[in-house]
Amino acid sequence: MIEVKNISKRYRNTVLDDISFTAEKGQCVGIIGANGCGKTTLLSIMAGVNKAQSGKIYYNNELADKKSVFKKYIAYVPQENPLIDELTTKDNLLLWLGSNKKIKDGFENGVLKDLGIDEFLNKQVNELSGGMKRRLSIGISLSNNAPIMLLDEPGSALDIYGKQEVNSYILNYVKNGGTVVMSTHDRDEIDLCTKLYKIEDGILKECEG
C-alpha cells in the first residue's frame, strides 16, 4: 500500500502543491497531465531520488524517510534508459545486480524469467528492440522483488509490439498483488489503470469515470 501525504515541491514555480493519494495492493494508478506538469517529479520523489519541500510518503505504513525503506519496497523505472548499449544483457545484469548469484536468483524467483530476458541474455543491448530494453530495465529494477513498481511513461518510444510486451507484464504484476503507479499519456496504458489522476497547475485531482 502507498500513502502519499501533502507532498509539495517548488523550483521557481510550484510544481506539486499539497499532493495526496493512496494506492492499494493489486491496484494500477495512472498519473496524467501535460508535459512538464510534475508527473516525473512526483514519481522521482516517491522513488527517493528527489526530495519534496514538505509532505510524507508511507509504504505499507512504514515512513519512507531513509534509503533502506525505498530499497525494500520500490522498483523504479525512469523514462530514460539506464542500460549500457555496448554490453550484453547479461553484462548489464551483472553490472546492476552485482553478482552471478543475484542473476541466477532473479531467474529462479521468476522475475527475469517472466519478462523473457533469457531469450536475449547474450545479445548486446544495442541489438535489442525497444520492448526488450524496457523489459530488461524493469527486470533490473525488480531484482529486489519489490511489491511496488513506479513507471515513468513505460511505453515511451516503444513500437506497438514493445508496448504490448510491457503492458502484458504490468497487468500480470498487478494481478499477482503488486502495486503500480505510472505516469502516462497512452490510451492503452490508461486502460490498465484502476484509478486515474491528473496533475494540473500543481494540483492532483482524481479523474471520474
Least confident of 24-33, 35-44, 134-143: 134-143
- 19 Cβ neighbours under 8 A, 6+ residues apart: 4, 6, 7, 8, 42, 55, 199, 204
Percent of the chain whose predicted confidence (pLDDT) is above 90: 66
- Give residue 209's pLDDT: 62
Query: What is the CATH number that goes with domain 2-206?
Result: 3.40.50.300
Residues 22, 28, 32, CA angle at the centre, nearest 5°? 80
Chain-wide mean pLDDT for the chain?
Answer: 92
For residue 3, list its beta bridge partners. 22, 58
Query: Model's pTM, two decimal places?
Result: 0.90
Answer whether 197's CB lies under 8 Å from 32's CB.
yes
Q: Rounded to an integer, what distance in angstroms lies between the CA atom of residue 97 and that of residue 48?
A: 19
- Report the percent of the chain where pLDDT is more than 70: 100
- The domain segmentation of the chain, as residue ranges, is 2-206
Say if CB 168 and CB 176 are below 8 A apart: no
At 29, the pLDDT band (50, 70, 90 cuts) reads very high
**pLDDT given at position 114:** 82
Helix (H, G, I), strand (E, B) or coil at 113: helix
* CB of 1 closer than 8 Å to CB of 60: yes
Each residue's pLDDT tens digit, 60-110: 999 999 999 998 999 999 988 889 999 999 999 999 888 888 888 878 777
